């Protein structure tokens, strides 16, 4: 990671180029993060970490509120592929494919690290509704039935799935 960075990371809040810094600039109270790298826009208090061993950003720079919402979105979504109905071979990809369908976006654009607050709020809501349907039983909302999954996403757009499920 020596030399000047070959990539350009732009702050989504001010459109200025961010700077590659080490963790002591972002988290001065966290010595365990001093050796980690981050892209930072100091004026906007926005930053994003990098993939291990690279300077490639994990997502887009985010302010504190957006980072908090991304964390909540991951907490709502990740259990679906780590331990839940999508666990297993290609589980993570299948879960992101399902989430992209629910959000009405292409799977290649479905990355929580790129989401804004509104998208994170939708992820949290969709995952909460899905877990509730799973709790009610497989006859209500089978995981492998793409028609039901797509319909759930459309109904979410129209204001929720509560009316559909008895």
Condensed to tens digits (0 to 9), the pLDDT of residues 133-151 reads 988 876 655 555 444 444 4
Helical spans, DSSP H, in 53-113? 64-82, 91-103
Only one residue has tokens 């006859």, namely 139
**57 and 79 both lie in a single domain:** no
Asked whether residue 110 is domain-assigned, the answer is: yes
pLDDT value at 118 more than 70: yes
Q: What is the domain range of residue 39?
A: 1-61
56 within a domain of the structure (yes/no): yes
Whether residue 124 sits in one domain with residue 75: yes
Q: How far apart are CA 24 and CA 90, in angstroms?
A: 36
Query: Is 47 contained in some domain?
Result: yes
Indicate if 39 and 99 belong to the same structural domain.
no
Which pair of structure tokens corresponds to residue 17? 């180029």
Q: What pLDDT, in 10s, does the model give residues 27-69?
A: 999 999 999 999 999 999 999 999 999 999 999 999 999 999 9
The span from the CA of 156 to the CA of 162, in Å, is 9
Determine the length of the chain. Answer: 166
Q: Is 32 helix (H, G, I), strand (E, B) or coil?
A: helix
13 pLDDT higher than 80: yes
Looking at the fold, whether 48 and 76 belong to one and the same domain comes out as no
> Does 90 share its domain with 132?
yes
- 75 & 145 share domain: yes
Residue 112 DSSP symbol:
G
- Same domain for 69 and 137, yes or no, is yes
Domain membership of residue 6 (yes or no) is yes
Question: Whole-angstrom Cα distance, residue 126 to residue 118?
Answer: 12
Give the chain's domain count. 2
Whole-structure pTM value = 0.77
143 in any annotated domain: yes
pLDDT of residue 162: 35
Q: 6 pLDDT band (50/70/90 cuts)? A: confident
Answer yes or no: is 96 within a domain. yes
């Amino acid at each position: 990671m020596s030399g000047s960075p070959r990539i350009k990371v732009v702050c989504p809040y001010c459109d200025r180029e961010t700077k590659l810094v080490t963790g002591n600039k972002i988290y001065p109270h966290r010595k365990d993060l001093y050796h980690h790298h981050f892209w930072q826009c100091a004026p906007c208090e926005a930053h994003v970490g990098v993939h291990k061993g690279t300077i490639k950003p994990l997502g887009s720079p985010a302010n504190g509120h957006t980072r908090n919402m991304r964390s909540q979105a991951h907490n709502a979504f990740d259990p679906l592929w780590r331990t839940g109905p999508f666990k297993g071979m290609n589980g993570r990809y299948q879960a992101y494919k399902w989430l992209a369908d629910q959000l009405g976006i292409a799977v290649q654009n479905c990355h929580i690290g790129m989401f804004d607050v509104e998208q994170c709020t939708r992820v949290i809501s969709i995952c909460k509704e899905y877990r509730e349907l799973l709790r009610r039983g497989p006859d209500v909302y089978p995981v492998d039935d793409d028609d039901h999954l797509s319909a759930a996403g459309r109904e979410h757009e129209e204001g929720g799935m509560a009316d559909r499920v008895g």
